[in-house]
Structure 1
Amino acid sequence: MSDLSAFIRGLPKAELHLHIEGSLEPELMFELARRNRIALPFGSVEEVRAAYAFSNLQDFLDIYYQGARVLLTEEDFRDLALAYFRRVAADGCRHVELFFDPQTHTDRGVPFAVVADGLLAGMAQAERDLGITSKLILCYLRHLPEEAAFETLRQAEPYLDRIAGVGLDSSEVGHPPSKFARVFQASRERGLKLVAHAGEEGPPQYVWEALDLLHVDRIDHGNRSLEDPRLVERLVREGMTLTVCPLSNLKLCVVDDLAAHPLKRMLALGLHATINSDDPAYFGGYLGENWLQAAGAVGLTRDELVTLARNSFTGAFLEPDEKQRHLAALDAYVAQA
């Protein structure tokens, strides 16, 4: 391992853009299919991996929803979460804010409580065993009607003291943030933080809508913001965190080459960018791999790496004293590395 690789692996960092269903590795998919007596349309782990050769967001989502069918019990969701946490523990990850898609499960008859209780059990065990803290963000599926999102919010009511925020994911193009303005307002009234996928495949206008109509606290992706200088100025002025996902962007052809990724330009412009893995089982790398490959491809300096790590903590939905504790650990690591 090179000096830079070792520095990156050990650098304390947070992950703010992780879809827990997107961490379902083929091996676990087959294990859960056997456990739950579900027939998969794949004959082997290798066939599943070959199916991951998608070229756009919709092709990915088709197999993503297909794979989620094996998740049925609290134990399944706990095991899914723990498998993810064990992987990122080796990447210097200290805190995670993970997305989950309850509608993916409730629409096939899995109760909201089964999903939430399983994930919360895995998160609690990860904190006990690995020292990684985490928060849960409920995502509304944007290809479904806003009424379905309201129903999900209703189902979540008993868990709102254990859910940090809500997000907006799934097919972006044709489903602008404005479609969900009312349910986001209702979510804010319940004390939840707000995030939204915007500017991945959708235009800069979607980022404006996420800011002006949803009043989000964070933008997920946001790459296409760079097409609008006024939007960039605003994001910088407001200190808006962007949860950028390099390997996801490459896999979904948001960028043609990782060397052309705008991450370094984002930092140069003063944007509050972070590095995340998105759906790591599908996109070829967990948190550490995204950091390592992005750093190598665009030539991130040591100072830029530290800035990215700092952004991941300051952009997290942590209390001020918790942020300070993580930032102190980061400063101590950098001082001795």
Structure 2
Amino acid sequence: MTAKIELHLHIEGATPPALAREVAARKGVSTHGMFAEDGGYAWEDFTDFLRAYDRVAALFVTPEDHRQLAESVLRECAKHGVIYAELAISSDHVAEGDPVRFAEYLAAITEGAEAAETATGIKANFVATTIRHLGPDRAARAARLAVDCGHPRVTGLGLAGDERLFHPADFAPAFDIAREGGLKLTAHAGEACGAQSVRDALDALKLDRVDHGVRAVEDPALLARIIDEGVHLATCPGSNVALMSYRDWRAHPIGQLRAMGARASVSTDDPPFFQTDMTREYLELTSAFGWGPAEFAAMARDALDAAFCDAATKAELAARL
């Protein structure tokens, strides 16, 4: 099986539906309207997806919940050949600014990650991800929490949520805190909004990479900048197609981006919500663009270069690639 690197994966958004059902049953929580007829999660549009995501995330409360979630998500990744994953985690969902609760949460998901690594060999780090629609003040508190925790697996700060709200510059203070604290930086841009959102995020937040970023293809000058500066785009084609940003896989810009020299990799974002996994992503890209082992190997190397992990880990992963 081809070894894969996944940089853009939200831990709650990757919850296997069977685990969500199990946890809900254990807690006596109603799942009415949570699941679609095909067994996946039910949602209608981007706004409704965010609501559905929060409903699933709310199932996981205790340290044991979070330990089980991390192990389950990473074991599922490993089944599809992923040897390294960066999990987007949100203190807003689990700790609400409380450093004690955040430390307990990190201990729990670290235990889960270690169990998954022992069982499958997959390695993982965590990107502390602020929620855009909760506002800049919450983002700054989350950034401070991520820096102050000093956890070795917390290697980056991200920005997710509703891209249509606020301006990237509003979150510059939070990203300054993280940068000064030694964390790497990424942010969602160019998914629900256009190319200007990517430019604004790069300018205001001084990012190390961009999550999604695909709509940069709509602006030749911006695309040239991304290529010249070697900005990595952690794209999620299956997510974009499911959310109807593009009509099908063949229309997705990742083919154009890589053909022009942009460093774009593939991840699954929130896989069970979008009926995807890394195996499907690779199969669909093969069908859409005729990619083979050489193209996927080059993409994995680009992803590893952009990973938020130390040099020793990169060397070990490079040998496995």
> TM-score by structure 1 length?
0.88
Q: What is residue 145 of structure 1 aligned with on the other side?
A: 135
| Aligned residues of 1:78 and 1:119 also touching (Cα < 8 A) | yes
Structure 1 position 172 matched with structure 2 position 148:
no
The one-letter code sitting in structure 1 at the alignment partner of 2:75 is: R
Structure 1 position 67 matched with structure 2 position 56:
yes
The one-letter code sitting in structure 2 at the alignment partner of 1:160 is: G
State how far apart, in whole Å, the 1-side matches of 2:36 and 2:206 are. 43
Unaligned runs of 5+ in 1: 1-9, 331-337
SS at match of 1:41: coil
Q: What is residue 3 of structure 1 aligned with on the other side?
A: none
Structure 1 position 307 matched with structure 2 position 298:
yes
Unaligned runs of 5+ in 2: none
Count of paired positions? 319
Q: What is residue 226 of structure 1 aligned with on the other side?
A: 217
State how far apart, in whole Å, the 1-side matches of 2:37 and 2:76 are. 23
Deviations 1:185-235 (A, max 9, x none): 011111111100011111212211221210110100011100111111111
The one-letter code sitting in structure 1 at the alignment partner of 2:179 is: R
| Aligned residues of 1:22 and 1:281 also touching (Cα < 8 A) | yes
| Aligned residues of 1:201 and 1:254 also touching (Cα < 8 A) | yes
State how far apart, in whole Å, the 2-side matches of 1:184 and 1:48 are. 40
Change (3 A) 1:199 1:46: closer
SS at match of 1:140: strand
- Higher mean alpha-carbon deviation, 12-21 vs 156-165, is at 156-165
Displaced runs of 4 or more, over 6 A: none
Q: What is residue 131 of structure 1 aligned with on the other side?
A: 121
The one-letter code sitting in structure 2 at the alignment partner of 1:40 is: T
Q: CA deviation at 1:60?
A: 0.7
State how far apart, in whole Å, the 2-side matches of 1:111 and 1:202 are. 34
Q: What is residue 94 of structure 1 aligned with on the other side?
A: 83
| Aligned residues of 1:142 and 1:171 also touching (Cα < 8 A) | yes
Change (3 A) 1:266 1:144: same
Deviations 1:262-297 (A, max 9, x none): 111111110001010000110111222212222212
State how far apart, in whole Å, the 2-side matches of 1:153 and 1:226 are. 30
State how far apart, in whole Å, the 2-side matches of 1:137 and 1:326 are. 19
State how far apart, in whole Å, the 1-side matches of 2:280 and 2:91 are. 28
Change (3 A) 1:112 1:62: same
| Aligned residues of 1:17 and 1:98 also touching (Cα < 8 A) | yes
Q: CA deviation at 1:239?
A: 1.1
SS at match of 1:95: strand
Q: What is residue 251 of structure 2 aligned with on the other side?
A: 260
Structure 1 position 58 matched with structure 2 position 50:
no
Q: CA deviation at 1:108?
A: 11
The one-letter code sitting in structure 2 at the alignment partner of 1:62 is: R
Q: CA deviation at 1:46?
A: 5.0
The one-letter code sitting in structure 2 at the alignment partner of 1:297 is: A
Q: What is residue 318 of structure 1 aligned with on the other side?
A: 309
State how far apart, in whole Å, the 1-side matches of 2:275 and 2:292 are. 23
Q: Percent identity?
A: 35
| Aligned residues of 2:237 and 2:266 also touching (Cα < 8 A) | yes
> TM-score by structure 2 length?
0.92
Change (3 A) 1:82 1:123: same
SS at match of 1:111: helix
Map 1:1-337; keep pairs closer than 5 Å: 10-42=1-33, 46=36, 49=39, 52-54=42-44, 56-107=45-96, 111-162=101-152, 163-330=154-321
Q: CA deviation at 1:158?
A: 4.7
| Aligned residues of 2:160 and 2:187 also touching (Cα < 8 A) | yes
Q: What is residue 4 of structure 1 aligned with on the other side?
A: none
Q: CA deviation at 1:321?
A: 3.9
SS at match of 1:255: coil
Q: CA deviation at 1:45?
A: 5.2
